[in-house]
Copies of this chain bind each other. A is one copy, B any other.
Amino acid sequence: MTTRQDCDVRDAEDPLRELRHQFDLPAGVIYLDGNSLGVLPKTALGRVQQVITQEWGHDLIKSWNSAGWIDLPARIGNKIARLVGADAGELVVADSTSLNLYKVLSAALRISRADAPARKLIVSERSNFPTDLYIAESLAQQHGLTLKLVDSVDEIPATLNGELAVLMLTGVNYRTGYLHDMQAITAAAHAAGALVIWDLAHSAGAVPVDLKGADADFAIGCGYKYLNGGPGAPAFVWAHPRHAERFWQPLSGWMGHAAPFQFTPNYQPAPGIQRYLCGTPAVLSMAALECGVDTLLAAEAMGGMQALRQKSLALTELFIELVDERCAKLGVRVASPRQAAQRGSQVCLSLAAPLEQASYAVVQALIARGVIGDFRAGDPADLQAMPHILRFGFTPLYIGYTEVYDAVEHLVQVLSTQEWKQEQFNQKAAVT
């Protein structure tokens, strides 16, 4: 059994350990929620101060040119491209994940319907992050198509047929951390004549992604999770260059125009990925996002995403091992895949009956102890199929092995002392 001392040794020997010093981590906190909101890069405060005082305050409107504000979507996009196997000029930062999905799903449907009008299905997983399903539901309604949701990964192959227009999946499931085989699924969908959109919200910066290698069609992703871009950071969007000239962008704002500063009354989309821009970018939030993305690029000299993946798996395997050994008898079950190849950078736990209704309170009790994870409600109508979960993200840039050990120790204490029964841990907040 792994001891705390073993963990100390692993931290001391960890070649990626120094990457942690890029961040301002609050004292006394074990932060296992980087999959929801990444921590603060030390450079972000100074950078945003510079944007506010110098670029906005002093240089004002000139900064669109002199500070390169106009290039921010492409410049940060090119950095993110290096993390997800895309090439420069193919990816831009813009708007939110939801809005970017609206753009690329519109594009994919238009291409698919032009090539094969009989294809009427959009397929996704019922367990996909809801905003993706809401956007797909909207577009399916508008275009007279059907959004078909599968209940398990095993059902996907049967949907890859002549009815399928677009397969829309999230690379790593936001609840369970299940990691799809992007290359195999994309190839199978292409063989069936369909297009594939990947949501990389829980993949970019968390696991190696090779969009070009997988021959994906479109991808979107989030700036504020593993990319450490700050609360509500702008999102990103990528299209394979084979599609980049081919689609009409329904959210046709002026920043996606071929010549936005000619102020012409007719829309002419910019060549390539620039047409995925819409309105004026939120510069302050963009500046912080760039600092976050830079914390991942700092790992490139140490093996990059491959090295981070190795450490991520070591962290999640240690967590699973310790939970199995120390918490199973307290009613805790591992709800994430045990196979490394199927697991992203997070591990979710569920509590066996009669404890399952205590899941929320257990998470709150852990937070009060400084172990920050989060609670995701199950399906009240079928907790067997979709249990309440305790979700813990392990971001290898800043989480260490001893922290994993201590998090499990706190969980043992919360459960064995029934600390979670305290009233303050059972009051629901607006955001969970």
Is A282 within 8 A of B233, CB to CB?
A: yes
Which residues of chain B come closer than 8 Å to A57, judged between CB atoms? 24, 26, 39-40, 45
* Any B CB within 8 A of the CB of A395: no
Q: How far is the CA of A142 from the CA of B267 in the complex (A)?
A: 14
Which residues of chain B come closer than 8 Å to A278, judged between CB atoms? 96, 98-99
Q: How far is the CA of A255 from the CA of B58 in the complex (A)?
A: 35
| Chain B min CB distance to A70 (Å) | 5
Q: Which residues of A81-121 have CB atoms within 8 Å of chain B's CB atoms?
A: 95-99, 102
Beyond A52-B230, A372-B61, A430-B65, is A280–B96 a contact (Cβ under 8 Å)? yes
Is B63 within 8 A of A231, CB to CB?
A: yes
Is A282 within 8 A of B234, CB to CB?
A: yes
Q: How far is the CA of A149 from the CA of B264 in the complex (A)?
A: 13
Beyond A31-B60, A44-B52, A102-B251, is A284–B279 a contact (Cβ under 8 Å)? no
Is B266 within 8 A of A137, CB to CB?
A: yes
Which residues of chain B come closer than 8 Å to A429, judged between CB atoms? 65
Beyond A230-B56, A251-B98, A283-B230, is A61–B135 a contact (Cβ under 8 Å)? no
| Chain B min CB distance to A223 (Å) | 9
* Any B CB within 8 A of the CB of A213: no
* Any B CB within 8 A of the CB of A338: no
Q: How far is the CA of A29 from the CA of B96 in the complex (A)?
A: 36
Which partner residue on chain B sits nearest A286 by CB separation? B232
Which residues of chain B come closer than 8 Å to A62, judged between CB atoms? 367, 372
Q: How far is the CA of A108 from the CA of B266 in the complex (A)?
A: 22
Q: How far is the CA of A40 from the CA of B430 in the complex (A)?
A: 32
Is B99 within 8 A of A265, CB to CB?
A: no
| Chain B min CB distance to A233 (Å) | 7
Beyond A64-B431, A278-B98, is A149–B265 a contact (Cβ under 8 Å)? yes
Q: How far is the CA of A48 from the CA of B44 in the complex (A)?
A: 11
Which partner residue on chain B sits nearest A37 by CB separation? B61
Is B95 within 8 A of A231, CB to CB?
A: no
Per-residue CB proximity of A248-261 to B under 8 Å, as 1/0? Answer: 11111111010011
Q: Which of A14-22, A125-133, A178-186, A412-420 contacts B (4 or more CB under 8 A)?
A: A125-133
* Any B CB within 8 A of the CB of A285: yes
* Any B CB within 8 A of the CB of A288: yes
Which partner residue on chain B sits nearest A375 by CB separation? B261
Which residues of chain B come closer than 8 Å to A254, judged between CB atoms? 98, 129-131, 134
Is B430 within 8 A of A70, CB to CB?
A: yes
* Any B CB within 8 A of the CB of A262: yes
* Any B CB within 8 A of the CB of A36: yes
Which residues of chain B come closer than 8 Å to A403, judged between CB atoms? none
| Chain B min CB distance to A136 (Å) | 9
| Chain B min CB distance to A379 (Å) | 9
Which partner residue on chain B sits nearest A36 by CB separation? B61
Q: How far is the CA of A254 from the CA of B199 in the complex (A)?
A: 15
Is B251 within 8 A of A138, CB to CB?
A: yes
Which residues of chain B come closer than 8 Å to A29, judged between CB atoms? 60
Q: How far is the CA of A291 from the CA of B247 in the complex (A)?
A: 39
Is A279 within 8 A of B44, CB to CB?
A: no
Which residues of chain B come closer than 8 Å to A430, judged between CB atoms? 64-65, 70, 261
* Any B CB within 8 A of the CB of A224: yes
Which residues of chain B come closer than 8 Å to A266, judged between CB atoms? 133-134, 137
Per-residue CB proximity of A278-300 to B under 8 Å, as 1/0? Answer: 11111111101000000000000
* Any B CB within 8 A of the CB of A422: no
* Any B CB within 8 A of the CB of A376: yes
Which residues of chain B come closer than 8 Å to A233, judged between CB atoms? 282
* Any B CB within 8 A of the CB of A192: no
Is A282 within 8 A of B285, CB to CB?
A: yes
Q: How far is the CA of A77 from the CA of B322 in the complex (A)?
A: 48
* Any B CB within 8 A of the CB of A432: yes
Give the 4 A-B CB pairs with smallest separation, nearest first: A96-B279, A98-B253, A231-B283, A131-B254
A-B contact pairs, 7 of them (CB 8 A): A48-B284, A55-B231, A61-B374, A98-B254, A129-B254, A134-B254, A138-B249
